[in-house]
Chains A and B, each alone.
Chain A
Amino acid sequence: MPVPVGAGVPAGHGGAPSTFDKFKMGAMMGGTVGLIIGFIFGATNIVRYGPGPNGMMRTLGQYMVGSSATFGFFMGIGTTIRTDGSPIAAAAFARAHQNPIILSRHSRYAPLIDQSFRSR
């Protein structure tokens, strides 16, 4: 992808995501919520009051995009101002794939466990 290198990932997985990353995450979640809400309310209004002057698809699209923009904006701001290790930030942290690095018992504890014991 000829995309200039930007941190596509919260800076320092496991560290603190930057302000913009937090905003981005909040905006994504808010945008999704807004899309669904816009669809529901738009459909309800269309069923109750008929499609608008521009037709059903246009009206519905207007509702959906409008709500998603609004919700995304406000959610983004909401996550940005949270500094107490917000769950969104923690979600990004959790994205630091949780492969636990197992201290291999074989390499570490083998001398502790008597081979003779093992052969019981």
Chain B
Amino acid sequence: MLVRLVSRASAQRLVTSSPSRTAVAAQLRSYHAFDRSTTRYIRTLGQSQRTSHVSAIGARCYSSRKDPQQSNEPPSSAQEEFSGPKSPEANTTPSSTESFAYEAPRTSRPAPGAPAPGSPAEPSSAEAEEASQVASGQKPLPDLRHGIPSTFAEEFLKQTAEKPEKSTEPDITEKTTQELEEAPEPEAKAGGGRGDSDYPKSAYETSIDRRRNMMARYMYIALFTGATAFAMYMGRNWETEQEEKAHADAPSGWGFKLFWDRVKVRLSSQMVYYTEPAFPKLLPDVDPMMRPPGGMTLVISLEDMMVHTEWTRQNGYRLAKRPGVDYFLRYLSQYYELVLFTSVPSMNADPIISKLDPFRIITWPLFREATKYEGGDYVKDISYLNRDISKVIVIDSKAGHVKNQPENAIILPPWKGDPKDQDLVALIPFLEHVATMGITDVRPVLASFKGKHIPTEFSAREARARALFNAQLDAERKKSSQRGVGAFASALGVKPAGMMIGEESISEGFEKGKMLSDQIRERGIQNYQQIEKEIQENGTKWLKELEAEQKRMQDEQVKGMKSGLMGWIGQGSGPEESPKSA
């Protein structure tokens, strides 16, 4: 706006000195052209260099005046302006009174305007000069005698405020503005607010840039095609009949959903290494010598079943042992092969289990490495156990852990440290019954107890059976009191041959009113008491032997490892063996 006002004002002044219209128009055009060029040119200058260039520009302003007759100096001087005193009449109106946003010296303008009418010839000659300059293609130089025109508006009031990149500074002491204008300007790249860059962006790309871009483009294309090809390959139809059957839920065929299913199945099979149990057979094969008769296996979990961890700020982590755990384990070790199956990693659970069960009453410990990771749950999959599934009972506190074989599982509520809890011990009669009564498949048995509290239900059933048994016994007694064979035999002191439980035969037990389960229970309790006695007597001795054996194994291992490939990694401390065992 101010630019326009100034130009109009100066045009007025020029008009008053009656130039031709075309000259004025030419001059105005040159002002605008100069406007743009000057702003661009000034913007390329650094701040520090502006002042020094003002004088250079000013000098050039004067030196470009080609009219030597305007001054009175002797023509032999190199610079007419400075050779000799001048008179005010020698002052010329500046050819360009454009000062872009500059207003203050307006007041002083009338002063130079005074000589202006005094030398009407000069403005016209100046114009003629200007016109000749314009005609010859030279742009008029900026008038910087009144300060550097501000380029604030151009720089900051347009939208992109990106600073021009600092490329190499043009060396303006050598070049004129014209040459500078024509040189490629670095800010043509930056921002879109100006629309007047001289060169398109592609002119600034070097050959290296172009090669790099091409390489990047090819790589992207290759990546994309590779990914697509991989996806197609992963989603191909099943090749063999076997595979087709194995993945019945993602059959062959066209269609996006089927394709996606196949891709998912194939990809997830890659992750099998991490999600499946570490070994396909978790337990060693059955050794008949090692297990109690009946061939039953009881799988029990650790956390919230046998122990409970608790954290407080004062005491940190503490473990509570469920009441009756020892009794439970030792009693049932006569009937079952006990297996511990936890979802705690082995390095965390091993210290716990070694403290809980130092005599290894639980024969086999299995940890998180043996579980299957399915859908966020660590699933204890019984089919990997290498045991007959119909003879395995699992006791767990979380249904999610046994979701692959829920029919083998007894789910107890998680134990949270309550010292009066009796759930675990209350299961003993039921478990004893299942193990000893010749049951071949536990699953129907467990199914019959589904949804009920097992101890109460079992005792109710047992009471009914007992009533039945007593009724039968009474009936038989009435019958047999009429015969005398059994009485005769016992009178002779001959014990009838037949099966025995311990010291007395079963039939004798029946006579006494004990059901078979009662007799077994009695025998079991006796066994348990013997176990307890043995442990109490020999417990410490056994523990010491265990420690010694472990230490021996460790020593063997250390020797083995030293000579192995790992030896090169460990140049650490000497083999100080601390005999702290598990």
Question: B568, A1: Cβ atoms under 8 Å?
Answer: yes
> Given the complex of chains A and B, what is the CA–CA distance between A19 and B527 in angstroms?
50
Question: A91, B347: Cβ atoms under 8 Å?
Answer: yes
Question: B573, A12: Cβ atoms under 8 Å?
Answer: no
> Given the complex of chains A and B, what is the CA–CA distance between A103 and B546 in angstroms?
9
Instruction: Note all chain A residues with C-beta closer than 8 A to B578.
Output: 11-12, 15-16
Question: A15, B563: Cβ atoms under 8 Å?
Answer: no
> Given the complex of chains A and B, what is the CA–CA distance between A113 and B530 in angstroms?
9
User: What does DSSP make chain A's interface, helix, strand, loop or mixed?
Assistant: loop
Chain B residues touching A, range: 35 or more
Choice from B549, B554, B567, B572 contacting A3 with Cβ under 8 Å? B567
User: Does chain A have a CB within 8 A of B564?
Assistant: yes
- Which of B99-107, B181-189, B286-294, B392-400 lies on the face that meets chain A? B286-294
Known A8-B570, A9-B562; contact A100-B360, beta-carbon cutoff 8 A:
yes
Q: Which residues in window 520-559 of B have CB below 8 A to A?
A: 523, 527, 530-531, 534, 542, 546, 549-550, 553-554, 557-558
User: Does chain A have a CB within 8 A of B575?
Assistant: yes
Question: A21, B572: Cβ atoms under 8 Å?
Answer: yes
Q: How far is the CB of A91 from chain B (nearest CB, A)?
A: 6
Q: Mark A83-120, 1 if CB is under 8 A from B, else 0.
A: 00001001101101111111111101101111011101
Q: How far is the CB of A32 from chain B (nearest CB, A)?
A: 14
Instruction: Note all chain A residues with C-beta closer than 8 A to B579.
Output: 12, 15
Question: B562, A7: Cβ atoms under 8 Å?
Answer: yes
User: Does chain A have a CB within 8 A of B153?
Assistant: no
Instruction: Note all chain B residues with C-beta closer than 8 A to A8.
Output: 561-562, 564, 566-570
Question: B500, A116: Cβ atoms under 8 Å?
Answer: yes
Residue ID in chain B nearest A104 by CB atoms: B290
Choice from A7, A15, A16 contacting B572 with Cβ under 8 Å? A7
Residue ID in chain B nearest A118 by CB atoms: B293
> Given the complex of chains A and B, what is the CA–CA distance between A66 and B223 in angstroms?
26
User: Does chain A have a CB within 8 A of B580?
Assistant: yes
> Given the complex of chains A and B, what is the CA–CA distance between A7 and B223 in angstroms?
47
Known A48-B216, A91-B347, A96-B554; contact A6-B567, beta-carbon cutoff 8 A:
yes
User: Does chain A have a CB within 8 A of B582?
Assistant: yes
Question: A13, B549: Cβ atoms under 8 Å?
Answer: no
Q: How far is the CB of A8 from chain B (nearest CB, A)?
A: 4
> Given the complex of chains A and B, what is the CA–CA distance between A7 and B557 in angstroms?
11
Question: B534, A7: Cβ atoms under 8 Å?
Answer: no
> Given the complex of chains A and B, what is the CA–CA distance between A84 and B10 in angstroms?
87
Instruction: Note all chain A residues with C-beta closer than 8 A to B461.
Output: none
User: Does chain A have a CB within 8 A of B465?
Assistant: no
Residue ID in chain A nearest B534 by CB atoms: A112
Looking at B549, B572, B573, the one whose CB has the most chain A CB atoms below 10 A away is: B572
User: Does chain A have a CB within 8 A of B334?
Assistant: yes
Question: B549, A21: Cβ atoms under 8 Å?
Answer: no
Known A15-B577, A100-B365, A120-B293; contact A6-B570, beta-carbon cutoff 8 A:
yes
Instruction: Note all chain B residues with C-beta closer than 8 A to A3.
Output: 567-568
Known A96-B554, A118-B293; contact A7-B564, beta-carbon cutoff 8 A:
no
Known A6-B571, A9-B562, A101-B550; contact A112-B527, beta-carbon cutoff 8 A:
yes
Looking at A14, A20, A102, A118, the one whose CB has the most chain B CB atoms below 10 A away is: A14
Q: Mark A25-60, 1 if CB is under 8 A from B, else 0.
A: 000000000000000000000011111000000000
Known A6-B571, A24-B569; contact A114-B502, beta-carbon cutoff 8 A:
yes
Residue ID in chain A nearest B555 by CB atoms: A13
Instruction: Note all chain A residues with C-beta closer than 8 A to B223.
Output: 47
User: Does chain B have a CB within 8 A of A62?
Assistant: no
Instruction: Note all chain A residues with C-beta closer than 8 A to B502.
Output: 114, 116-117
Q: How far is the CB of A37 from chain B (nearest CB, A)?
A: 20
Instruction: Note all chain B residues with C-beta closer than 8 A to A118.
Output: 293
Known A8-B564, A24-B569, A91-B347; contact A105-B216, beta-carbon cutoff 8 A:
no
Instruction: Note all chain B residues with C-beta closer than 8 A to A116.
Output: 500-502
Instruction: Note all chain B residues with C-beta closer than 8 A to A120.
Output: 293, 499, 501
Q: How far is the CB of B529 from chain A (nearest CB, A)?
A: 10
Instruction: Note all chain A residues with C-beta closer than 8 A to B575.
Output: 5, 7, 11
Question: B569, A1: Cβ atoms under 8 Å?
Answer: no
Choice from A11, A90, A91 contacting B573 with Cβ under 8 Å? A11
Q: How far is the CB of A96 from chain B (nearest CB, A)?
A: 6
Q: How far is the CB of A48 from chain B (nearest CB, A)?
A: 7
> Given the complex of chains A and B, what is the CA–CA distance between A90 and B570 in angstroms?
17
Question: A117, B562: Cβ atoms under 8 Å?
Answer: no
Instruction: Note all chain A residues with C-beta closer than 8 A to B570.
Output: 6-9, 21, 24
Question: A13, B558: Cβ atoms under 8 Å?
Answer: yes
User: Does chain A have a CB within 8 A of B64?
Assistant: no
Known A1-B563, A24-B569, A48-B216; contact A15-B580, beta-carbon cutoff 8 A:
yes
Residue ID in chain B nearest A90 by CB atoms: B347
> Given the complex of chains A and B, what is the CA–CA distance between A21 and B582 in angstroms?
19
Question: A113, B527: Cβ atoms under 8 Å?
Answer: yes
Choice from A4, A50, A101 contacting B546 with Cβ under 8 Å? A101
> Given the complex of chains A and B, what is the CA–CA distance between A87 and B346 in angstroms?
11
Instruction: Note all chain B residues with C-beta closer than 8 A to A24.
Output: 569-570, 572
Residue ID in chain A nearest B438 by CB atoms: A120
> Given the complex of chains A and B, what is the CA–CA distance between A11 and B563 in angstroms?
15
Known A13-B554, A113-B292; contact A100-B580, beta-carbon cutoff 8 A:
no
> Given the complex of chains A and B, what is the CA–CA distance between A101 and B357 in angstroms?
12
User: Does chain A have a CB within 8 A of B489?
Assistant: no
> Given the complex of chains A and B, what is the CA–CA distance between A1 and B571 in angstroms?
14
Residue ID in chain B nearest A97 by CB atoms: B557
Question: B574, A7: Cβ atoms under 8 Å?
Answer: yes
Instruction: Note all chain B residues with C-beta closer than 8 A to A93.
Output: 347
List the 8 closest pairs (A to B, CB-CB), nearest first: A15-B578, A50-B212, A8-B570, A12-B578, A8-B567, A6-B571, A90-B347, A20-B572
**Additional A-B contact list (13), CB under 8 Å, known A7-B573, A12-B577:** A6-B562, A7-B570, A8-B568, A11-B577, A12-B578, A16-B578, A94-B347, A97-B553, A100-B365, A102-B360, A109-B333, A113-B527, A117-B502
Could you list some 6 contacts between A and B, CB below 8 A? A8-B566, A12-B576, A18-B572, A101-B546, A104-B290, A112-B531
Binding site for A on B (CB under 8 A): 212, 215-216, 219-220, 223, 289-293, 333-334, 346-348, 350, 359-360, 363-365, 499-502, 523, 527, 530-531, 534, 542, 546, 549-550, 553-554, 557-558, 561-582
